[in-house]
Chains A and B, each alone.
Chain A
C-alpha cells in the first residue's frame, strides 16, 4: 500500500509516517503544503492520500479542497481527511463531492495501528469512513426528534455503523448478526425515517448523515 501525507506540522507528519510504516505501508510522499503535495501525488500516484484539514495559507478548509482535487484528478487514489474538529459538516461536505473512497477521521483516531489499517483498507476498497465520534454524537443527541426516537436500540446501533460508512457485511460482523438480519434492520430503519433505501451504495451514508443533521 503506497501512501502520501500532507500536514504542516512536521512532528505529526513524522509520527504518522512511522505509524504507517509500522502498519506495513509505504510512505511515498510527505509534504507540508498543498502545492508540493499535489505535485507529489501526481508523480507517485499513491493508493491513499492522507490530508490534514487545516493547512496553510488560511488554515480553514484547504484540506477539504485538496481532497476534492485529488479525487478529481486521480480517481485511483483514495483520500483520508484528518481533522481536529468533531464536525459533521466537514464530513458531509467531503462525502457530498465524492461519496466513495473517502474518509473523515479525527486526527488522533489513527494512532491505533489497527484502526488506521482498517480505515485505509476500507477507503481503498471504495467504501467511505466517517469518524464514529461524530456519528455517535449525531445519533445520541439528547431530545431526539420523532422518527429517531422510534428506533429500537439495535436499530440505532445499525444506524450508527451505517452512518460511519460500514457495509451490511461489516455491520453484521461487528454486531455478530447475519447479513440477512442486518438487511432487515436497515430496511426498517429506512422505513421509520422515511428515507429511500439505497442498499450497498455509499450514497446511503450521505442520506443518513443528511437526515441526522436536518
Chain B
C-alpha cells in the first residue's frame, strides 16, 4: 500500500488546488453551484487518480484522466493565476479519451502472483469491438484537442466578456467566432465518440452473449459500462449546451452524472486490485505454512491460507476416481467442493465444510502457490491408489486361495476319506467272518487289503491336514499350531503362543506362515529350531529360529512373504550365521 502514497499526495495536492479554486467562486464550477455536486466532482477526480494507481498497469491513463478532470475546474474566473487557468482550459475534455482508452484492456496488477508472463495474455479487443473502441478513443481525443487547446488558442475568455478571468496564456487568434466553431465541432465529435463507445459496449455485450450477465457484473464489465456512461454523459452535457453560448459549458446535471460514472469506474478498477492483494496475502500464508513445516500436506497449507477453513484435498487418479493423498477413494458427490484447475486441467478438488466463502481467484492463486505440493501429492495419491488396488487384489487372491483350500479339505474329508473308512469297516467285517472260516488264507489276504486301505487313509489324512486348517476354527491359533507341530516330522520347540484370540485373518496368516516354514524345513531334524508367536503392541510377531544345517528348503521363500504381505505384514531374516531367524510382523489392530 505504501507504493500508493506518492499518488495519494498528488491526488491530495490536485484536489486541494481544486477545492481552493471552488471556494473562491464555486458558483461558476462546471458542477454547478451545488456544494454537494462540487464535492462529488472533486472526489471523482481524486478517486480516479488513486484507483488508476492501485490498478497498476496503464497507470498513467486513469490518474491523468482524474487530474484532467480536476484541472478542468481551474478554468475558473477566480482561478489562481494564468498558468493554472490555462491548464484548466486545455484539460477541458481530456478525461474523455483517457477514460475510454483505459478500457482498451482491463489492466492487470503488475505484481500479480500470476506474474508478468500473463500481462499480455489478455488479447487486444479484435474485430468490431476493437475498431469501435479505437474510433471512440480517437474521436474523443480529437474532441478533447478541439475543445481544449485549440479553443484556448483561438479565443481567450477575456475576449468574450470574462473580464475578471486570468489570462489565457496560449490565446493567439482572439477570434470568438473561431472559438465557438471549434467548440461546436468538438462537441459534435465528442457526441460521435460517445456513440462509438456505446456501440462498442453493445457489440462487446453481443460478443459475450453466452454469459452477458456475468460479464456485466464482472469488474471489467462494470468498468466498461461506467466508461461508456461517462462518455455519454459528457456528450449529452455538451449536446445540451451546443446551441448555447461560446463558453460551451456543459450542463451541470450531466457533469454530475459523469462524475458519478468516474466514481463507479474507480470502484470497478479497484476491485481486481483488492482481489489481487488478497490473493497475495493467501499465497504468502501458503508459503509460510509450507516453510514452517516442509512435511505439511497441501490441505493443511491451503487450510491455513484460506483462513482456518477445514479443507481436505482430493486428486484425480488416472482411473477417473478421486483419491486422497493416501490413495484412498474419496466421494465428491453431495459435498461442497471447489475444483482447482490449471489450463483447463483438473489439478485437485478442495472439499470444505459448508459453501465456500472463498474468493475463487484466491483459491486459484493459493493453488498456484501450493502447486508443487499439490502435484507431489497428486502423484503420490495416484501411486498409492494403484498400490492399494494391488493390495486389495492380492488380499482377495489370498482369500480366494484360503477358501479354495478349505473347500478342497472339506471335499477330501467328506468324500474320499469317508469312503475309505467305510471300506475299512467292510474289510473289518469281512475279516471277522473270515476268522470263522476253516481256510486261513482269506483272513491274511483281507488283512493285506485292509493294510493298503489304512495306508491310503493315512496319506489322505496327512494331505488333508497339509491343505486345510480345520483345527484353526475349533482350537484357535495356539491349539492349531501345537497340533501342527505335533504332527510335523520337523522337530520344533514351541516357545510362546498367544493365549487370546486374534483376528481371523491374522490367525490364518500366522498359521500358514508356520505351516509353510515346516513344509520348507523338511523332514530332517533341525536341532534347536523354535517357534514363538507374541503380541507386540498393535502387532503380532512370529519369530522362527532354525538350525540352518537341517534345512532342505528355503524357509524365507517369496510366497511366504507374499502371503504375509496380503495380511499387511512383512518378513525379514535376522541373525544370519549361527542362529538364523525369520521374523514376521503383522498388524493386529
Chain A partners chain B: yes
A16 at interface (Cβ–Cβ under 8 A)? Answer: yes
Whether the Cβ atoms of A84 and B417 lie closer than 8 Å is: yes
B428 on the A face (CB < 8 A): yes
Within 8 Å CB of B420, what residues of A?
A: 108
* Of B433, B457, B483, B489, the contact of A88 (CB 8 Å cutoff): B483
**B464 proximity list for chain A (CB < 8 A):** 84
Q: Are B483 and A18 in contact (CB under 8 A)?
A: no
Say whether A112 contacts B428, CB under 8 Å.
Answer: yes
> Of A85, A108, A113, which contacts B470 at CB under 8 A?
A85
Residues of A within 8 A of B410 (CB): 59
B490 at the interface (CB under 8 A from A): yes
- When C-beta atoms are compared, the residue in chain B nearest to A112 turns out to be B428
| Given A84-B417, A89-B482, A142:B474 Cβ within 8 A | no
Interface pick from A7-15, A30-38, A159-167, A197-205: A7-15
Find chain A residues with CB under 8 A from B474 CB. 60-61, 90
Contact yes or no, B493 A145, CB < 8 A: yes
B425 near A86: Cβ-Cβ < 8 Å: no
Q: Which residues on B sit within 8 Å (CB–CB) of A107?
A: 421
- Rounded to whole Å, the gap between the CB of A66 and the closest CB of chain B is 14
Q: Which residues of A contact B461 (CB under 8 A)?
A: 84-86
Contact (Cβ within 8 A) A19 B483: no
A9 touches B491 (CB 8 A): no
**B471 smallest CB distance to A (angstroms):** 6
Does B437 count as interface, using CB distance less than 8 angstroms?
A: no
Interface string of B422-463 (1 = CB under 8 A from A): 101111110111000000000000000010011001000100
Query: Which residues of A71-121 have CB atoms within 8 Å of chain B's CB atoms?
Result: 84-90, 107-108, 110-113
Nearest CB of chain B from residue A8's CB, rounded to whole Å: 9
Which residues of A have CB within 8 Å of B526?
A: 143
The answer to whether A54 has its CB under 8 Å from any CB of chain B is yes
The bracket for how many chain A residues form the interface is 20 to 34
With A11-B418, A12-B425, A19-B428 known to touch, is A142 a contact of B483 (CB < 8 Å)?
no
**A-side contacts of B426, CB under 8 Å:** 15
Query: Taking the complex as formed, is B504 at the interface, i.e. its CB lies under 8 A from any CB of chain A?
Result: no
- A 122-144 binary contact with B (CB < 8 Å = 1; else 0): 00000000000000011001111
Which listed residue (A11, A22, A54) contacts B413, Cβ 8 A?
A54
Given A84-B417, A87-B471, do A22 and B432 touch, yes or no (CB 8 Å)?
yes
Contacts of B489 in A (CB 8 A): 142
CB-based nearest B residue for A23: B432
A12 near B422 with CB under 8 A, answer: yes
Q: Which among B419, B420, B461, B493 has the highest number of chain A CB atoms within 10 Å?
A: B461
A111 close to B428 (CB less than 8 A): yes
A137 to B465, CA, bound (A): 15
A9 touches B418 (CB 8 A): yes
Closest beta carbon of chain B to A9's beta carbon, Å: 5
Interchain CA distance A143-B546 in the complex, whole Å: 13
Q: With A84-B461, A89-B475, A113-B428 as given contacts, are A15 and B422 in contact (CB-CB < 8 Å)?
A: yes
* Measured CA separation A74–B81 after assembly (Å): 132
**Chain A positions 5-58 with a Cβ under 8 Å from a chain B Cβ:** 9, 11-12, 15-16, 18-19, 22-23, 54
Q: Does B479 contact A (CB under 8 A)?
A: yes
Q: Is the CB of B482 within 8 A of A213?
A: yes
Chain A: CB-nearest residue to B485? A141
Nearest chain-A residue to B417 (Cβ)? A84
List the B side residues contacting A145 at CB < 8 Å: 493
Cα–Cα distance between A141 and B454 once the two chains are bound (Å): 22
Q: Which 5 A-B pairs have the closest CB atoms?
A: A143-B491, A15-B425, A111-B428, A142-B491, A111-B424
B interface residue numbers (CB < 8 A to A):
410, 413-414, 417-422, 424-429, 431-433, 450, 453-454, 457, 461, 464-465, 470-471, 473-475, 479-480, 482-483, 486-487, 489-493, 525-527, 529
The 20 listed contacts between A and B (C-beta, < 8 Å) are A12-B425, A18-B425, A19-B425, A19-B428, A19-B432, A54-B413, A84-B417, A85-B461, A85-B471, A86-B487, A88-B482, A88-B486, A89-B479, A89-B482, A108-B420, A108-B425, A108-B453, A112-B428, A113-B428, A137-B487
Q: A12-B421, A88-B482, A108-B421 are in contact. List 7 more A-B contacts (CB 8 A).
A: A16-B425, A22-B433, A85-B461, A88-B486, A89-B480, A90-B475, A141-B491
